[in-house]
């Protein structure tokens, strides 16, 4: 009987923990559906008409050696599931990242290294360190639905990537090392009128416009001590950045009113504005005991009322609201059968 009581106690504790975990997600996410099945699929962003997603994938079943850009028809992906093959937009050369739909819901903005080399660039690694590669061959292009590049927006030997488009359809923000550091830059939709927005030492990236186009939210590292500054500069000189300590910031699109929103420690990144413009969703491992577990959180733009949004699996990131605010798309490694796959999921958003 004693052993039965122990077993039952363990069962009910597990059930209670699972119920609590489920209740976290059920508060804001309903009707979660999986859109991709295999490989690493990330940075999925809605078209202005809400019918498509632009995203990057390295799914080996699609014959990919490194990330390429795809356009996904949401309705078809939900209906066909494993049998759905999204349309490849990038040319299959080099490595790509950070795609985003242009205002016409047809053309897609993305960064690629193919002008430097047609092969996938070899990542630089350091034992014991999790690092992102900042390839200097990345430039920003616009392609149509047939994959034809119709415009090149940057053309230099520095890192130009992480570009997104204003909901107003007039501006593009991106991250560049053209000033010697990883800073935010803004330009007109045609690539003219370049302006640097951030100037402090550290990695500023992954910026997105507020719903009214007046502000930007982004992730940033801000090395302070001599050792932190030296490490940051040493890594950057090798085309690397350590994304292990980042916080969320906002800034006006004219470069004024820079403000830190989070002060949680560890890695806080992949921010996106709530449709109200008064809250921000982002991914964070600040509460993780292991350091790797990333969940989605929401916070007011004044830094108050931190709320956990996801609780399933150990990786959830890249949230984006549909233009009408009714849907949320995000990347997660849930339902991957014990593999390392990260897939795209879409859910109804409940305020």
> What was the pLDDT predicted at 15?
41
Q: Which of 333, 317, 312 is nearest to 281 (CA)?
A: 317
User: What is the predicted pLDDT for the residue at 1?
Assistant: 52
Please give the order of strands across the beta sheet that includes 52-57.
41-46, 52-57, 68-73, 87-88
For the record, the structure tokens of 196 come out as 């640097």
Contact 149, 63 (CB under 8 A): no
Residue 127: the pLDDT is 85
User: Structure pTM?
Assistant: 0.92
What residues have CB less than 8 Å from 48, skipping those under 6 apart? 101, 103, 104, 105, 167, 169, 323
CATH number of 31-349: 2.120.10.30
Q: Taking a C-beta distance cutoff of 8 angstroms, is the pair 303, 263 a contact?
A: yes
Beta bridge mates, 282: 297
- 49-to-77, 113, 129, 188 alpha-carbon distances in Å: 17, 29, 41, 21
Of 253, 175, 258, 255, give the one whose Cα is nearest residue 211. Answer: 253
User: pLDDT by residue for the chain (351 residues), tens digit each?
Assistant: 545 444 444 444 444 444 555 678 989 999 999 999 999 999 999 999 999 999 999 999 999 999 999 999 999 999 999 999 999 999 999 999 999 999 999 999 999 999 999 999 999 999 888 999 999 999 999 999 999 999 999 999 999 999 999 999 999 999 999 999 999 999 999 999 999 999 999 999 999 999 999 999 999 999 999 999 999 999 999 999 999 999 999 999 999 999 999 999 999 999 999 999 999 999 999 999 877 899 999 999 999 999 999 999 999 999 999 999 999 999 999 999 999 999 999 999 999
Residue 240 near residue 134 (C-beta atoms within 8 A): yes
């Amino acid at each position: 009987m004693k052993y039965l009581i122990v077993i039952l106690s363990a069962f009910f504790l597990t059930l209670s923990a699972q119920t609590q975990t489920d209740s976290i997600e059920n508060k804001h996410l309903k009707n979660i559906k999986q859109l991709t099945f295999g490989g690493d699929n990330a940075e999925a962003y809605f078209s202005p008409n809400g019918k498509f997603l632009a995203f990057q994938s390295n799914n080996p079943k699609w014959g990919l050696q490194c990330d390429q850009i795809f356009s996904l028809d949401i309705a078809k992906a939900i209906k066909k599931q494993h049998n759905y093959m999204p349309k490849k937009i990038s040319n299959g050369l080099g490595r790509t990242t950070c795609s985003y739909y242009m205002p016409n819901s047809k053309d897609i903005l993305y960064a690629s290294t193919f002008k430097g080399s047609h092969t996938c660039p070899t990542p630089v690694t350091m034992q014991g360190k999790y690092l992102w590669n900042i390839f200097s061959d990345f430039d920003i292009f616009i392609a149509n639905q047939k994959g034809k590049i119709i415009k090149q927006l940057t053309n230099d030997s520095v890192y130009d990537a992480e570009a997104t488009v204003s909901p107003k359809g007039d501006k593009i923000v991106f991250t560049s090392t053209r000033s010697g550091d990883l800073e935010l830059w803004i330009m007109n939709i045609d690539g003219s009128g370049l302006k640097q927005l951030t100037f402090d030492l550290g990695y500023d990236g992954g910026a997105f416009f507020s719903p009214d186009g007046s502000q930007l939210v982004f992730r940033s590292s801000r090395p302070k001590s001599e050792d932190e500054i030296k490490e940051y500069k040493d890594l950057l000189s090798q085309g690397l950045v350590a994304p292990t300590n980042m916080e969320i910031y906002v800034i006006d699109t004219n470069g004024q009113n820079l403000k830190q929103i989070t002060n949680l420690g560890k890695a806080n990144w992949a921010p996106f504005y709530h449709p109200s413009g008064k809250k921000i969703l982002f991914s964070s491992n600040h509460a993780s005991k292991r350091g790797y577990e990333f969940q989605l959180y929401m916070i007011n733009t004044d830094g108050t009322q931190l709320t956990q949004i996801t609780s399933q699996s150990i990786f959830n990131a890249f949230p984006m609201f549909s233009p009408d605010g009714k849907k949320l798309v995000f990347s997660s490694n849930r339902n991957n059968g014990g593999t390392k796959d990260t897939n795209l999921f879409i859910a109804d958003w409940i305020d």
